[in-house]
């Protein structure tokens, strides 16, 4: 059971392959978006960054390798895991793909089961809580599989929104999240929520975490947002 469904962007120009992959990822609990060419993929990532991209090498107009190169050269998207897909004849070129920063690759025809296993493996590294791994920071521990939070060994009671908020912050201690980024991650893009709602829930999370005593682990960064630690 994931804290927030991990989102995957599938970039593939072959409609049948795109559909099969999207269908299987959706069945495995992923939130899937699809792009049929490189240009569309770049626009979609700019609109809402997914947690991981499955990227075909051969695409019309902007190639997969170019998409990868551009995303890996920008600070905001550098950490976004990318798995490249290529036809066997292009395999030797894949070295170039990995040089541009792709995190993994598979050669067509690939096994969908194997691809999903690799997607999960990348996510365990990039977004551990989405794969059920416990997260800790200092004396705080969050276990996504049991939905329990402890601080200094004491249970901390959190509402579902505060739980997702804490999970998000725990994934990247020290990272400053803007209110908009937290809205995207915790509430999702499809729901209209005022950015001040984020402040309300951060306040509740602070209060809940202070019940056991200890320092306030949440930092308000003026004009920027919030960070853990």
Separation of first and last alpha carbons in the chain: 27
**CA separation, residue 39 to residues 43, 70, 101 (Å):** 6, 11, 19
Strand partners for 11: 35, 55
- In the stretch 2-31, what mask flags binding to Ca ion with x, by CB under 5 A? -----------x------------------
Residue 85 or residue 119: which is nearer to Ca ion going by CB? Answer: 85
Distance CA 199, CA 179 (A): 8
With binding defined as CB under 5 A, does residue 133 bind Ca ion?
A: no
Is 56:35 a contact under the CB 8 Å cutoff?
A: no
Residue 56 or residue 184: which is nearer to Ca ion going by CB? Answer: 56
With binding defined as CB under 5 A, does residue 90 bind Ca ion?
A: no
Tell which one of 7, 21, 50, 56 touches Ca ion (CB under 5 A).
56
In this chain, which residue has its C-beta nearest to Ca ion? Answer: 58
Q: Interface residues for Ca ion in 58-77 (CB under 5 A)?
A: 58
Cβ contacts of residue 221 below 8 Å, gap of 6+?
Answer: 176, 227
Residue 26 or residue 61: which is nearer to Ca ion going by CB? Answer: 61
Output the smallest distance, CB 114 to Ca ion, in A.
19
| Lookup: tokens for 175 | 């990272």
Locate tokens 């049948």: which residue? 16
Output the smallest distance, CB 221 to Ca ion, in A.
42
With binding defined as CB under 5 A, does residue 106 bind Ca ion?
A: no
Positions in the binding site for Ca ion (CB under 5 A) = 13, 56, 58
């Amino acid at each position: 059971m994931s804290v927030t469904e991990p989102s995957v962007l599938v970039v593939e120009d072959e409609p049948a392959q795109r559909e099969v992959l999207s269908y299987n990822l959706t069945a495995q609990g992923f939130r899937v978006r699809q792009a049929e060419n490189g240009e569309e993929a770049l626009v979609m990532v700019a609109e809402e960054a997914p947690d991981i991209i499955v990227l075909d090498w051969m695409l019309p107009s902007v190639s997969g390798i170019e998409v990868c190169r551009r995303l890996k050269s920008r600070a905001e998207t550098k950490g976004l895991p990318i798995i490249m897909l290529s036809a066997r004849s292009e395999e030797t070129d894949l070295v170039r793909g990995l040089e541009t920063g792709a995190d993994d690759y598979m050669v067509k025809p690939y096994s969908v089961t194997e691809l999903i296993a690799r997607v999960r493996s990348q996510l365990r590294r990039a977004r551990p809580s989405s794969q059920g791994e416990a997260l800790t920071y200092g004396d705080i521990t969050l276990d996504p599989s049991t939905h329990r939070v402890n601080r200094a060994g004491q249970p901390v009671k959190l509402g579902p929104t505060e739980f997702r908020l804490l999970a998000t912050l725990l994934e990247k201690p020290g990272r400053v999240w803007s209110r908009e980024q937290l809205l995207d991650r915790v509430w999702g893009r499809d729901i209209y929520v005022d950015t001040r709602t984020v402040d309300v829930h951060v306040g509740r999370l602070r209060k809940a975490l202070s019940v056991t005593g200890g320092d306030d682990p949440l930092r308000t960064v003026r004009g920027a947002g919030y960070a853990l630690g």
